[in-house]
Amino acid sequence: MAEILRVIATFVEKGLVYVSKKPVFWSSGAQTALAEAEVEYQERDDQAVFVKFPIATGQLAGKASIAIWTTTPWTLPANLVIAVDAKEIYVVQEFRREGVSEVLVLADKLVDAFSLATGFQPTGEPMQTFPGTKLEGFGAQHPLLPRTSMILTAEFVTMDTGTGAVHVAPGHGEDDYALGSKNGFPIFSPVDDHGRYTEEVGIPELVGKYVFDANRDIVRMLRDREVLLGEQNFHHSYPYCWRSKTPIIFRAVDQFFIRIDDLRAAALDAITKVDWIPLWGENRIAGTVESRPDWVISRQRSWGVPLPVFYSGSGEPILNANWIRRLADLVAVRGSNVWFELSDSELARELGLPPGTTKGSDTIDVWIDSGVSHRAVCARRPELHDPAEMYLEATDQHRGWFQSSLMTSVALNNRAPYKTCVTHGFVVDLDGKKISKSSTYDKPVEASHFVSKHGADLVRLWASSINYTDDVPFSEEMFTRLGDTYRRMRNTLRILHGNLFDLLVSDVADVGSRSTTAATTLIDRWIVDRLDGVIGECRAAYESFEFHKVYHTINQFCAVDLSSLYIDITKDRMYCDAPNSPRRRATQLAMHRIYDALCRLLAPVLAFTSEEAWRYLGGNASVHLQLFPEVRASQRDTYVNTAVDRLLKLRAVIGQALEKARQQKLIGNSLEARVILRCERKLIDGISRDELEEFFIVGELVLEEANEPSAVVERTSFAKCARCWRHRETVGKSRTHPDLCDRCEDVVQARLSST
């Protein structure tokens, strides 16, 4: 709270804050301004009137009157302007009713409607016809007061109702205000808190009268002065105060503003120095900053941080940076309630202000509260810093928090409060409909619901899997699918871990000193190279906040490279080679490296699963305290990549042949197959037959030269090794172990003799 006040003090010091009148929704029943959400609409009958303003200056002076229409006659005393559409056609037309003749200016399109409503019949052809721009700058005599209203063109003029000439009272309407202030008109609003005319209204008999009661008087006055062209009952929906149920009025009251014009250029410059994710965020916020008007920081509310404005004995608002800082110090000690608890005189005494100084009753716009969090939180806490690394919010906050923070930060520090700004879309249902807490959407929307149902890891996995920069699709089905992905990842970690059970810590430690590439086989070199690719992609994706790329990369790696290829292929050596065989150890080392890397890469997503897996590696510290793995190879192993790519193409050819053989019930398991592979020799150059048989997971491979790769599958004639289930030529050759192949016999023999 104190910090917010100090920020305001700085704004005041820099001359950014000023006071001006602005119309607000005002409840005369509750004597307070209302927010948009506090206004409710009710059906209501009003007396709409057509009124003429005799043209007093300009080409038509003294020859015609401009006709306006309004449903709120009580705002006429505040009329300063009449608005017309620049492009619409207006006519100067003589009308007659019961012997009375009037020459009026109004929109061509609305002549008929005007006749119908007032009984004035057009006489002859229009005397003149021109677009609205021609009227611009003309003066028109106010029907009740000795002053001239000016005719201006405006965007908001419509041809639905009225005359095409719109009565504008800058103190009594949003559009009126915008048009009036743009053209330098005073924001005239001669109405008090209770909705009664003040002295300013300039018509003595109206002073003190409730405006809705005054409608009748005004209509009578208009009639007396013969400026009333017609009246009609008008049924429409009108805003009411939700609490006092009284009709609201638009009424201009003193508001405090921040001059955005003084900050705009610096803000636009600061925007270019921020890393916007996605990129179009920059475009979006630049657009909102360019177009935003001055910031109204005062609110007529009874709760919130008090706006530190004082009033002199004569009622002049005082903005004084030193006073505000003194107040901030007091608030820091006694809390912001001192503002409300202390009387004017007590507060003045505490702060050392001149006697007779009073405090204002406005509060500060809550966007200031959140908008200065970079100062009040980031800059003050030792573990944080300002500017922040990153702000994250939904796209609606380009106009909200992102902008309010930016503006206050530019005012204070002349830079953005964030280095990176990430935005996400809104969650939508399968049919693209928005899911929100406030709408009638009846399915669960709380994250906690899905955490308790599916687990936090799955919720995080979901969040990581979608591209959040767009609309975020959501459905129960997605969670079911995600469960499969999750189990795939978890199972992959599990089998890797299972295969590492007899790997010694010393073996792992040894890796660094050895040339592992030379010691590993083709498939190991390939998977380690693939891992490097995965690490590189994931690091880049994390770096740029593209978490769904991490998800897909790891998912693909687990499902294809590891599960269906590497682990499947190396199963034989893992289960059946001698425990210490170089081939088996090489694979274990690769698996160890993969397991370690996967734990680290998955840690931000599968927070619990990765930690659980990580603990099995035997370290003490949590995986969440580890760094991401480094890409080991300075350059990719192009030899193994090309070699394995070729093998994978051949594997597809063999796979189709195996499938055909299976359907013919020739074989079941592919280890029962004798595959004759025909292809160009160079595709498998330098790779031993043993290695090929292992790679393709087939019983027996016969190679023949051919241009186009093809494969034929027969049932092998070799017997099945009881230990490794492969069908090998050597099974049955041994006298001691007739049911084993040569490899398995060696392994078994070695184990027997070692015990």
d(CA 451, CA 148): 68
Note whether 497 binds RNA by CB under 7 A: no
Binding mask 36-75 for RNA (x = CB under 7 A): ---------------------------------xxxx---
Q: Which of 182, 494, 514, 615 binds RNA (CB under 7 A)?
A: 494
User: Which C-beta is closer to RNA: that of 165 or that of 331?
Assistant: 165
Q: Which of 20, 123, 129, 158 binds RNA (CB under 7 A)?
A: 158
User: Which C-beta is closer to RNA: that of 526 or that of 551?
Assistant: 551
d(CA 587, CA 700): 23
d(CA 434, CA 441): 9
Residue for token pair 């505000």 = 324
Rounded to the nearest whole angstrom, what is the least distance from the CB of residue 2 to RNA in the complex?
Answer: 29
- From the centroid of its chain, how far is CA 158? 35
Residue for token pair 């840690």 = 603
Note whether 156 binds RNA by CB under 7 A: yes
Note whether 588 binds RNA by CB under 7 A: no
Q: For residue 27, how many other CB atoms are within 10 A of its CB?
A: 27
Q: Which residues ranging from 163 to 192 are in contact with RNA (CB under 7 A)?
A: 163-164, 166-167, 173-176, 178
User: Which C-beta is closer to RNA: that of 219 or that of 379?
Assistant: 219
Note whether 656 binds RNA by CB under 7 A: yes
Rounded to the nearest whole angstrom, what is the least distance from the CB of residue 665 to RNA in the complex?
Answer: 7
Give yes or no for a contact between 286 and 335, defined as CB atoms under 8 angstroms apart: no
User: Which C-beta is closer to RNA: that of 178 or that of 331?
Assistant: 178
Residue for token pair 């795939």 = 488
Rounded to the nearest whole angstrom, what is the least distance from the CB of residue 180 to RNA in the complex?
Answer: 13
Q: What is the DSSP letter of 628?
A: P
Query: How buried is 237 (Cβ within 10 angstroms: 0-12 exposed, 13-18 middle, 19+ buried)?
Result: exposed
Note whether 425 binds RNA by CB under 7 A: yes
Binding mask 352-391 for RNA (x = CB under 7 A): ----------------------------------------
Binding segment toward RNA, per CB under 7 A, in 1-9, 316-324, 487-495, 622-630: 487-495
Q: For residue 108, how many other CB atoms are within 10 A of its CB?
A: 16
d(CA 68, CA 49): 8
d(CA 618, CA 116): 91
Q: Which residues ranging from 100 to 119 are in contact with RNA (CB under 7 A)?
A: none
Rounded to the nearest whole angstrom, what is the least distance from the CB of residue 483 to RNA in the complex?
Answer: 8
Q: Which of 147, 380, 433, 514 binds RNA (CB under 7 A)?
A: 433
Q: Which residues ranging from 261 to 280 are in contact with RNA (CB under 7 A)?
A: 280
Rounded to the nearest whole angstrom, what is the least distance from the CB of residue 546 to RNA in the complex?
Answer: 7
Binding mask 540-579 for RNA (x = CB under 7 A): ------x-xx-xx--xx--xx-xxxx-xx--x---xx---
Note whether 157 binds RNA by CB under 7 A: yes
Note whether 430 binds RNA by CB under 7 A: yes
Note whether 143 binds RNA by CB under 7 A: no
Binding segment toward RNA, per CB under 7 A, in 23-31, 182-190, 308-316, 395-403: 395-403
Binding segment toward RNA, per CB under 7 A, in 298-306, 309-317, 334-342, 664-672: 664-672
Note whether 658 binds RNA by CB under 7 A: yes
Give yes or no for a contact between 703 and 684, defined as CB atoms under 8 angstroms apart: yes
Note whether 516 binds RNA by CB under 7 A: no
Strand ranges (E), 388-457: 388-394, 418-424, 427-428
> CA angle, 424 as apex, 422 and 426 as ends, to 5°?
160
Q: What is the DSSP letter of 560?
A: I
**What residues contact residue 594 under an 8 Å CB cut-off, 6+ apart?**
496, 527, 528, 531, 562
Q: Which residues ranging from 443 to 482 are in contact with RNA (CB under 7 A)?
A: 465-467, 470-473, 475, 477-478, 481
CA-CA-CA-CA torsion for 123, 127, 131, 134, nearest 10 degrees?
Answer: -130
Note whether 655 binds RNA by CB under 7 A: yes
Binding segment toward RNA, per CB under 7 A, in 156-164, 211-219, 241-249, 311-319: 156-164
Give yes or no for a contact between 82 and 56, defined as CB atoms under 8 angstroms apart: no
> CA angle, 636 as apex, 631 and 640 as ends, to 5°?
125
For residue 263 the two structure tokens come to 């900050």
Q: Which of 723, 728, 737, 743 binds RNA (CB under 7 A)?
A: 723
Q: Which of 438, 620, 638, 663 binds RNA (CB under 7 A)?
A: 663
User: Which C-beta is closer to RNA: that of 478 or that of 519?
Assistant: 478
Note whether 396 binds RNA by CB under 7 A: yes
User: Which C-beta is closer to RNA: that of 324 or that of 740?
Assistant: 740
C-alpha distances out from residue 321 to 327, 365, 407, 414, 509, Å: 10, 18, 19, 19, 65
Binding mask 324-353 for RNA (x = CB under 7 A): ------------------------------
Give yes or no for a contact between 133 and 153, defined as CB atoms under 8 angstroms apart: yes
C-alpha distances out from residue 99 to 63, 95, 125, Å: 18, 10, 18
Note whether 122 binds RNA by CB under 7 A: no
User: Which C-beta is closer to RNA: that of 559 or that of 631?
Assistant: 559
For residue 599 the two structure tokens come to 């734990």
Give yes or no for a contact between 367 and 303, defined as CB atoms under 8 angstroms apart: no
Q: Which of 659, 690, 704, 729 binds RNA (CB under 7 A)?
A: 659
Note whether 485 binds RNA by CB under 7 A: yes
Note whether 236 binds RNA by CB under 7 A: yes
Q: Which of 343, 491, 642, 688 binds RNA (CB under 7 A)?
A: 491
C-alpha distances out from residue 355 to 310, 317, 322, 331, 343, Å: 12, 15, 17, 20, 12
Note whether 410 binds RNA by CB under 7 A: no
User: Which C-beta is closer to RNA: that of 437 or that of 682?
Assistant: 437
Rounded to the nearest whole angstrom, what is the least distance from the CB of residue 399 to RNA in the complex?
Answer: 3
C-alpha distances out from residue 702 to 281, 432, 459, 544, Å: 60, 55, 50, 49
Question: Omega of the bond prior to 278 within 30 degrees of 0, cis?
Answer: yes
Rounded to the nearest whole angstrom, what is the least distance from the CB of residue 438 to RNA in the complex?
Answer: 11
Note whether 725 binds RNA by CB under 7 A: yes
Q: Where are the alpha helices (DSSP H) in 37-151?
A: 111-118
Residue 391's region, left for phi above 0, alpha for psi from -120 to 50, else beta, is: beta
Note whether 652 binds RNA by CB under 7 A: yes
- From the centroid of its chain, how far is CA 30? 36
User: Which C-beta is closer to RNA: that of 2 or that of 697?
Assistant: 697
Note whether 129 binds RNA by CB under 7 A: no
Note whether 581 binds RNA by CB under 7 A: no
Give yes or no for a contact between 406 and 271, defined as CB atoms under 8 angstroms apart: yes
Residue for token pair 């002549």 = 111
CA proximity to 423, closest of 441, 399, 446: 399
d(CA 185, CA 179): 9
Number of chain positions touching RNA (CB under 7 A): 90
Rounded to the nearest whole angstrom, what is the least distance from the CB of residue 15 to RNA in the complex?
Answer: 26
Residue for token pair 């909102």 = 288
Note whether 413 binds RNA by CB under 7 A: no
User: Which C-beta is closer to RNA: that of 195 or that of 425?
Assistant: 425
Q: Quick one: CA dihedral 17, 23, 24, 28, positive or negative? A: positive
